Chains A and B, each alone.
Chain A
């Protein structure tokens, strides 16, 4: 298990790095940073007070240590727009974003990987062309545009999708009792089929919009690495041994193809977490993305900073998980530095 710890320790420089950058950014604010944290109704006196409270009158290194120390205590400042501590704002809205992103990731993987495998086993077939077409088109459509198109066609024109008012139409359903924060899970735990169905219905369009952009790189890498694996020496050996086609495909080719796929997931997560913001905006999703957008427009800097930090943390965590998972897929990785 020592290689897992090594990986965990490997994230420390990144963690330090993101704290440094967010600190530097807050000091790049034009004008007096204290004014941002004091709020629009501030006067000279409250700005001075804020300055002292936030330690903004001290030297830069001192400020940094205070900043880092605050972070470790979970103090991300207070939001100007909600008046609440930023951390509680974010944690309240995080489950909504996580539920959405997880669904989108699941959709993307469940569609892209089989499509890529199938395309690789039948080159130049109709499936292969559909696969390549989806890849090319999928990477050209902005996520927010896809979302809007889907709403227009499936909600406005065809009436198949529910109104894009967020996670639940609050007039018809109330959220399930909070356990995890994910409505799908919580409604199942509460044996509330109606709310479950309603939450699922609301999730469809935003997840699909988010998934489409992620689908493209995953399908492309799956197809490419499967092609490489199917042409590799060890696959030939497996065939020479008369192994069944399914064994050759899965145990020999596909497992080896998983490695490059795992590597591309890092980039995919970056897309997903970023595009999350756009999708939440289109669908009125009450997640941290929508929170951040209103914060940015309101110059609520503490909230924006907290959002950026939280997303970065999430990203580092996701990459760590993929990294650790790769060591189980590929034993060779355990022996490298």
Chain B
């Protein structure tokens, strides 16, 4: 598409949907927290103080304190790094591996497609969160395995998308031309097909990020991956859950809302990107 059309579409996408702009702003804020968390946080996220345990939000502690007297605002800010980091790493890995495998299956077909397809179908035969639990249980209860598990359950998604897109483009004119030009199959894939499918795949990735965050948070909520006292939104909600019956809502609401904000923004961003790059797929 021409630059003019891109500008027109961007204006339309952002104009029609001011929310997309809001999403970008929120994500930028979260990214800031992730990168500079320890510097921005007003208190040390790990510092306990028995005297101020379970105090409601106040001027000193905007988000209140938890059962060990730690400042929740600081913990929420610093947790951004781990939550976003886990999700981004997992999605990035799935993306790259899924793209590579999908491109190979889509382009060469044959037994590579059959074998890979079978593997992906088998992954999809499990309820994905359950499979992630099983993987973390098997490989060991740590953050790296949570990332690995999240990566594995997201893989079929990118694989299928890449395979479909490569399949469609394999027969197109410009690919034929590249082949005629004497390019080997991998050169054709790398230089001609993959750059073309990157935009729609990026849309899928941003739509997928929200779900990856929820998955990682869910795993940590039930105690997998992250351990106390590490600040992470899922585990903070879990720690705060025991305080509901005594009414200290701030211990779980703020980390929970951080999750909601992150997922929401990524979803909106994904929608906005999709409207921008591929309006036909709107639902």
B134 near A20 (CB under 8 angstroms)? no
Q: A18-B125, A145-B260, A281-B221 are in contact. Are A273 and B134 (CB under 8 A)?
A: no
A to B contact number (C-beta, < 8 Å): 151
Kindly identify, within residues 99 to 144 of chain B, every residue whose CB is under 8 Å from any CB belonging to chain A. 118, 121-123, 125-131, 133-141
B218 near A308 (CB under 8 angstroms)? no
Contact with B along A292-336 (1 / 0, CB 8 A): 110111010100110110011001100000000000000000000
Q: Which residues of A contact B123 (CB under 8 A)?
A: 21
The answer to whether A43 has its CB under 8 Å from any CB of chain B is no
Tell me if B's interface is mostly helix, strand, loop or mixed: helix
CA distance A270 to B221 in the complex (A): 19
A142 near B126 (CB under 8 angstroms)? no
A137 near B264 (CB under 8 angstroms)? yes
> Which A residue's beta carbon lies closest to that of B207?
A139
> Which A residue's beta carbon lies closest to that of B271?
A136
B253 near A149 (CB under 8 angstroms)? yes
Determine which of B134, B135, B136, B218 lies in contact with A278 in the assembled complex, contact meaning CB atoms within 8 Å: B218
Contact with B along A262-304 (1 / 0, CB 8 A): 0000000111111101100110000000001101110101001
The answer to whether A234 has its CB under 8 Å from any CB of chain B is no
The answer to whether A237 has its CB under 8 Å from any CB of chain B is no
The answer to whether B202 has its CB under 8 Å from any CB of chain A is no
Q: Which residues of B contact A26 (CB under 8 A)?
A: 138
Q: A136-B267, A156-B244, A301-B137 are in contact. Are A148 and B260 (CB under 8 A)?
A: no
CA distance A136 to B264 in the complex (A): 7
Q: Which residues of A contact B237 (CB under 8 A)?
A: 142, 144-145, 148
CB distance from B159 to the nearest CB of A (A): 15
Q: How many residues on A have C-beta within 8 angstroms of the other chain's C-beta atoms?
A: 56
Q: Which residues of A contact B182 (CB under 8 A)?
A: none
Determine which of A29, A137, A221, A296 lies in contact with B224 in the assembled complex, contact meaning CB atoms within 8 Å: A296
Q: A29-B138, A144-B218, A282-B241 are in contact. Are A307 and B130 (CB under 8 A)?
A: yes
Q: A14-B125, A136-B264, A136-B268 are in contact. Are A148 and B134 (CB under 8 A)?
A: no
CA distance A206 to B123 in the complex (A): 28
CA distance A269 to B149 in the complex (A): 20
The answer to whether A242 has its CB under 8 Å from any CB of chain B is no
A148 near B244 (CB under 8 angstroms)? yes
A315 near B127 (CB under 8 angstroms)? yes
The answer to whether A30 has its CB under 8 Å from any CB of chain B is yes
Q: Which residues of B contact A20 (CB under 8 A)?
A: 122
Q: Which residues of B contact A14 (CB under 8 A)?
A: 121-122, 125
Determine which of B122, B140, B245, B268 lies in contact with A156 in the assembled complex, contact meaning CB atoms within 8 Å: B245
B247 near A277 (CB under 8 angstroms)? no
Q: Which residues of B contact A311 (CB under 8 A)?
A: 126-127, 130
Tell me if A's interface is mostly helix, strand, loop or mixed: helix
The answer to whether B252 has its CB under 8 Å from any CB of chain A is yes
B214 near A142 (CB under 8 angstroms)? yes
A17 near B210 (CB under 8 angstroms)? no
Kindly identify, within residues 177 to 203 of chain A, every residue whose CB is under 8 Å from any CB belonging to chain B. none
B125 near A17 (CB under 8 angstroms)? yes
CA distance A149 to B218 in the complex (A): 16
The answer to whether A140 has its CB under 8 Å from any CB of chain B is yes
Determine which of B131, B214, B221, B223 lies in contact with A296 in the assembled complex, contact meaning CB atoms within 8 Å: B223
Contact with A along B127-171 (1 / 0, CB 8 A): 111110111111111000000000000000000000000000000
Q: Which residues of A contact B137 (CB under 8 A)?
A: 295-296, 299, 301, 304
Q: Which residues of A contact B130 (CB under 8 A)?
A: 273-274, 277, 292, 307-308, 311-312
CB distance from A3 to the nearest CB of B (A): 20
B125 near A316 (CB under 8 angstroms)? yes
The answer to whether A72 has its CB under 8 Å from any CB of chain B is no
Q: Which residues of B contact A307 (CB under 8 A)?
A: 130, 134
B131 near A308 (CB under 8 angstroms)? yes
CA distance A281 to B222 in the complex (A): 7
Determine which of A137, A148, A269, A297 lies in contact with B241 in the assembled complex, contact meaning CB atoms within 8 Å: A148
The answer to whether B249 has its CB under 8 Å from any CB of chain A is yes
CB distance from A181 to the nearest CB of B (A): 21
A139 near B263 (CB under 8 angstroms)? yes
Q: A139-B210, A148-B252 are in contact. Are A278 and B221 (CB under 8 A)?
A: yes
Extra A-B contacts (7), CB below 8 Å, given A14-B121, A149-B256, A304-B137: A17-B118, A143-B218, A270-B127, A273-B129, A274-B130, A292-B133, A308-B134
- Interface residues in chain B, defined as those with a beta carbon under 8 Å from any beta carbon in chain A: 118, 121-123, 125-131, 133-141, 210, 214, 217-218, 221-224, 234, 237-238, 240-241, 244-245, 247, 249, 252-253, 256, 259-260, 263-264, 267-268, 283
What are the 7 A-B residue pairs with the smallest beta carbon separation, nearest first? A274-B129, A17-B122, A273-B127, A140-B264, A145-B256, A308-B134, A224-B283
